[in-house]
Amino acid sequence: MTDSFKGFPPRARATPVPDAFFSHVLPRMTDPAEIKVVLHVFWAIYRTRRFPRFVTRREMGADRTLAASLDGGVDSRGDLDKALAAAVTHGILLHVVAESDGRREDVYVINDEPGRNALKQLQETGVRTGAPDPAGDVRPAQRPNIFTLYENAIGVLTLPIAEELKEAEAQYPHEWIEEAFRLAAERNARNWRYVKSILERWEREGKDSGASGRPDQKKDGRYLQGKRGPLIPWR
């Protein structure tokens, strides 16, 4: 008998799932394998580092965690294919067969606005999946990428913003990006422009020169005034 789950750790990472999944989709699902696969797709897509975000049948078939969840072997091919087909039929996932490095890939996205945009872009540009994990266990990144941070803190990701995010991810340390999004959320300044201004200030003045990214050129009571931008509450 395996040990019981000890509980979620403090500040555990979370995967966003739309409320409609619980109110409209889950009550209609009867196959446990379909439920497990759909939840796995949510988890995998929100953890991937590529953009646009998607997951392939090959990657899911190589994922040992999913295989164990389906009580199958290394692939659990029958249950996985049946569950994916059901999720597409029920409108939860979208599926397209695309070319990737000279071979055909079954590609899946979530049937939401970002997923539909991703599918459109994949159909126009093709699929680049990258090299498979040599251990045969394709797992998403353990840290949230900049796209996940944006969607969790701000909202729906658009293609123009995605281009800016890719540039920022290449320019700034990941720790800076995570903290800048956290500060924006804490101050209810949920827009990319605000996050970007924090990163630019840290790059220009040094991250530790101020207080958690707040401008420190002029202190006036409970507020600080930066060289550029409005007054920001001082806490």
Q: Where are the domains of the chain?
A: 19-125, 146-233
Q: Give pLDDT, residue 136.
A: 38
205 three-class SS: helix
Which residues make Cβ contacts (< 8 Å) with residue 177, sequence separation at least 6?
146, 149, 168, 169, 195, 199
Q: Judge if 19-125 and 146-233 fold alike in CATH terms.
A: yes
Contact in structure between 195 and 181 (CB atoms under 8 Å)? yes
Q: Give pLDDT, residue 130.
A: 52
Contact in structure between 143 and 174 (CB atoms under 8 Å)? yes
How is residue 1 written in tokens? Answer: 């008998």
Q: Give pLDDT, residue 180.
A: 93
The topology under which CATH files domain 146-233 is Arc Repressor Mutant, subunit A (1.10.10)
Q: Give pLDDT, residue 225.
A: 41
Rounded to the nearest 5 degrees, what angle is found at the Cα of 178, between the Cα atoms of 204 and 161? 80
d(CA 30, CA 130): 35
DSSP state of 211: B
Q: Give pLDDT, residue 143.
A: 59
Q: Which residues of the chain have pLDDT under 50?
A: 1, 73-75, 131-142, 210-235
CATH 3.40.50.300 fits 19-125, yes or no: no
84 burial type by CB count under 10 A (0-12 exposed, 13-18 middle, 19+ buried)? buried
Q: Give pLDDT, residue 90.
A: 94
d(CA 30, CA 26): 8
